Amino acid sequence: MEKSRGKDRFSFESPDIAYVKFRLEKGPNKDEVRTLNIIDSSKSGLALLITEKDADLLEILEEGDKLVDLSFFGIGAKIKEDGVVKRISKIKEGKFKGSYILGVEAPDI
């Protein structure tokens, strides 16, 4: 993953314990609810994991897209907020090599 992503990040050792649900607002599956695992988080947002099963999101979502009713689920927590897609990048090494990161700005999560 990129080293320029900033400091003060919290990485989730097992990303299936923290995840986000959101509703698609565009594309062929408009209004479909999707669930993505969280790889890490920072003060300004989340890094969500896009695996092969959700690869269609790479064609649907773009930088600047608003994600409405983003629901964050973690250990003992549920938070609902809107977010904005900041970047989509391919993971080049490590456990999730070949998958993608969906960087979402959501400062209140």
What structural domains and CATH numbers belong to the chain? 11-105 (2.40.10.220)
CA–CA dist 32, 7 (Å, integer): 33
pLDDT of residue 2: 44
Q: Which of 40-49, 67-76, 90-99 has the lowest mean pLDDT?
A: 67-76
Question: What radius of gyration, in Å, describes the C-alpha atoms of the chain?
Answer: 13
The pTM of this model reads 0.78
Select from 19, 14, 39, 18 the least CA-distant residue to 89.
39
pLDDT over threshold 90, residue 73: no
pLDDT cut 90: percent of the chain above it: 45
3-state secondary structure of 5: coil
Query: Where does residue 74 fall: left (phi above 0), alpha (psi -120 to 50 degrees), or beta otherwise?
Result: beta
